[in-house]
Amino acid sequence: MIRREIRQITEKGPLKEGLVLSSCKAAGILTYRLIGYSRWVLPTIADVLALDTVRRGNPRVVAGADRLDTRVRWVHVGEVTDIAHLLRGGELVLTTGIALPDDQESLAAYVAELAAVGASGLIVELGRKFIRELPRSVINAAEEHGLPLVTLARETPFVQITESVHARIIDIQLEELRASEQLHEVFTELSVEGASPAEVLSQVARLSGSPVLLENLAHQVLACETAGRDTGTLLASWETRSRAVAPEGRTAYDSSSGWLVTMVGARGQDWGRLILLCEGTPGPRDVVLAERAATTLALGRLLERHQESLERQAHGTIITGILTHAYADPEEAAARARAVGVPLTGRKLISAVLRLCDPQDASLEGQEQLVRLGELAEAAAAACRDARLPALIGALDQNRVGVLLPLPPRTLAEPSLTALADRLRMTFATPFVLAAGSVVESIRDVRRSFLEAEQVADVAVRQPDGRPFYRLPDLRLRGLLHLLRDDARLQTFAERELGPLLAHDAQRGGDLTRILRIYLAAGRNKAVAAQKAHLSRPAFYDRLRRLERVLDIDLDDVESCLSLHVALLALESFRRDNPRT
């Protein structure tokens, strides 16, 4: 049926690039995208000349013999002189020449016009207009304009040539369509099952036979499938290598590295890149594979849901609504909370975040991580009930459980947090940290309290010291940047500020980034910084001048130095979270 569908369209003329075919299936409407006529799969002039239908005409190349690798997008039969304006480029023109002019200048102009519109070549059957050979003006014009020119010494049915070439083109496109349908089915199933990034990449590697990686905008590897390659070799100096590959377009191939790169994101917000390491030039199937995998990853990030109870889901929805300002009026949030038995009005509100910290199982991820997080949320809810603390408790993401405690006006926050932590540790064996934000009086300020709690939790989980809970006394800028480390906007900022410098060091093996870090850490005191860098002052000053040239800034400008310092701290938070790079 698919083949018939293609033929019905192609009978009307050449397929256009970007053609979309839709096929109704039981599960819904499936869309197949035909990659336009890719230059690496279309037949060449040489392929056409090798066809039996053409060989029977005793073909002879009289011009453009060095351009027989030119691709043929379509075959067009035409006996009129002014045919060029009817062509779109890539056509192989067949003619007997019966209607061509006699004068040499007009013949040369005819060939020039074909070349100008991008025709693939010209085949002329001898015996009607031109008896034994073509006029020299035609041959010279073809050579001058680089247009392959072929003569047929015997009468040849042109319809047989067009049918043979068009059948080959259709078969190529049919294979692409079948491959696209197969990939659609595979990745639709992955999307429905809620596959993890690791599972998606595993399928990409299986279908392509090549390594595939998912990275964020700071060029840190989020997931990797090696396809049998050595992991250490594959990831060696990854950030440096990745920075050097920046092809244009959402999906593009970089021939120098052999990387097929496609952006990953949804709703206009890109958050990563999918990279397929190709053995050679990728074909249309590889492009479709990479793009379909990127779509599945983006969709999975949008639709990811935790395996939790209906109560936890309801609580989590309310908390998320408050944090994202989904409710037009805070009273709507209060009403929803009251409906699940948690009064928020007339109370002091304190936000808390729970995070797992289990050094014995540092590889915990995927579904196991979600299950453990769900168990932590349920245990926290039980502990709050035991302590007679009504609270909203739900997962914030795949790493954090959020707790919103509404306390009576005269109740102190510290004893309540201690009671919650103690009861929770009695029933939940896996180590965790409980971090709390500031006490606020209004639902409008809950988001700020949660941001503080998340910041504290993300830092405290690295070096927990056994305290019942953690607050935000002095984490300051480092804690804030750590909290925002996965935000694409922060990664973009760091890349914009430090990208040229990091690329310079990567390409030349330099240490200007280290010099900048020392200089800023020394409070911009050049003498102290030179001493810490173990360089003489003249040598250190020379490094600073090179820094200014590379970054095109003035290091005496306070605001510029502040931006660079923030970008360096952000870069440190990226790299601490990705030790492999």
Other beta carbons within 10 angstroms of residue 415's beta carbon come to 11
Nearest CA among 25, 19, 286, 34 for reference residue 177: 34
The CATH superfamily assigned to 310-472 is Reverse transcriptase/Diguanylate cyclase domain (3.30.70.270)
Q: Are 485 and 567 in contact (CB under 8 A)?
A: no
Nearest CA among 296, 252, 299, 259 for reference residue 275: 259
Residue 356 phi, psi (nearest 5): -75, 140
Q: Which two tokens stand for residue 81?
A: 């002189």
Residue 436 phi, psi (nearest 5): -120, 145
The DSSP 8-state label assigned to residue 394 in this structure reads: E
Q: Look at the block and give the residue holding tokens 């020119």.
A: 149
Q: Are 350 and 439 in contact (CB under 8 A)?
A: yes
Q: 1-192 adopts what CATH topology?
A: 3.40.1390
Amino acid at the residue 426: M
How far apart CA 362 and CA 47 sit, in angstroms, is: 57
C-alpha distance across the termini of the chain, in Å: 49
User: What is the bridge-based pairing of β-strands 269-277 and 212-216?
Assistant: antiparallel
Q: Which two tokens stand for residue 479?
A: 């804690």
Radius of gyration of the chain (CA): 33
How far apart CA 435 and CA 93 sit, in angstroms, is: 75
Q: Which two tokens stand for residue 249?
A: 């377009």
Q: Which two tokens stand for residue 414?
A: 């510290």
Strands (E), 1-48: 20-25, 28-33
pLDDT of residue 542: 93
Q: Residue 236 CA to chain centroid, in angstroms? A: 21
How far apart CA 19 and CA 32 sit, in angstroms, is: 9
Domains 1-192 and 310-472 share a fold: no
Could you tell me the sign of the dihedral formed by the alpha carbons of 12, 18, 23, 24, in that order? Answer: negative
Q: Where are the domains of the chain?
A: 1-192, 194-303, 310-472, 488-576
557 CB-near residues (< 8 Å, 6+ apart): none
pLDDT of residue 3: 38
HSE-up (13 A, CA, CB side) for residue 268: 0
How far apart CA 102 and CA 108 sit, in angstroms, is: 11
382 CB-near residues (< 8 Å, 6+ apart): 427
Q: Are 239 and 507 in contact (CB under 8 A)?
A: no
- pLDDT tens-place values along the chain, 581 residues long: 333 433 443 343 333 333 333 333 222 222 333 333 343 468 899 989 999 889 998 999 999 999 998 999 889 898 888 888 888 888 999 999 888 888 899 999 999 999 999 999 999 999 888 888 999 999 999 999 999 999 999 988 888 888 888 888 887 777 777 767 777 778 888 877 777 788 899 999 998 899 999 888 888 777 888 888 877 788 878 888 999 999 988 999 999 999 999 999 877 788 889 999 998 888 878 888 899 899 888 887 776 543 446 578 778 888 998 998 887 778 888 887 887 778 898 999 999 999 998 544 444 455 677 778 888 999 999 999 888 899 999 999 888 999 999 999 888 999 999 999 999 999 898 899 999 999 999 999 999 999 889 888 887 887 687 889 988 774 667 767 876 888 899 999 999 999 999 999 999 888 999 999 999 999 999 999 999 999 999 999 999 999 999 999 999 999 999 999 999 988 887 775 543 33
Q: Are 293 and 201 in contact (CB under 8 A)?
A: yes
Q: Which two tokens stand for residue 199?
A: 């599972």
Strands (E), 53-163: 59-63, 74-77, 91-95, 121-125, 149-152
Nearest CA among 287, 323, 272, 325 for reference residue 176: 287
Residue 25 phi, psi (nearest 5): -120, 170
Q: Are 261 and 245 in contact (CB under 8 A)?
A: yes
- Helix axis angle, 284-303 to 158-193, nearest 10°: 20
Other beta carbons within 10 angstroms of residue 202's beta carbon come to 17
CA distances from residue 206 to 45, 187, 190, 306, 321 in whole angstroms, order as listed: 35, 13, 14, 28, 40
> Edge to edge, what strands does the sheet with 91-95 contain?
59-63, 149-152, 121-125, 91-95, 74-77
Residue 578 phi, psi (nearest 5): -135, 70
Task: Decide: pTM greater than 0.75.
Answer: no
Length of the chain: 581
Q: Which two tokens stand for residue 550?
A: 């590379």
How far apart CA 26 and CA 519 sit, in angstroms, is: 65
Residue 214 φ/ψ region, left for φ over 0, alpha for ψ in the -120 to 50 degree band, beta for the rest: beta
Q: Which two tokens stand for residue 485?
A: 């480390």
Q: Which CATH number fits domain 194-303: 3.20.20.450, 1.20.272.10, 3.30.450.30, 3.65.10.10?
A: 3.30.450.30
Q: Are 300 and 266 in contact (CB under 8 A)?
A: no
Tell me which H or E stretch contains 233. Answer: helix 231-235
List, in sequence order, every residue forming a beta bridge with 63; answer none if it has no partner: 149
Q: Look at the block and give the residue holding tokens 């060091």.
A: 505
Q: Are 581 and 575 in contact (CB under 8 A)?
A: yes
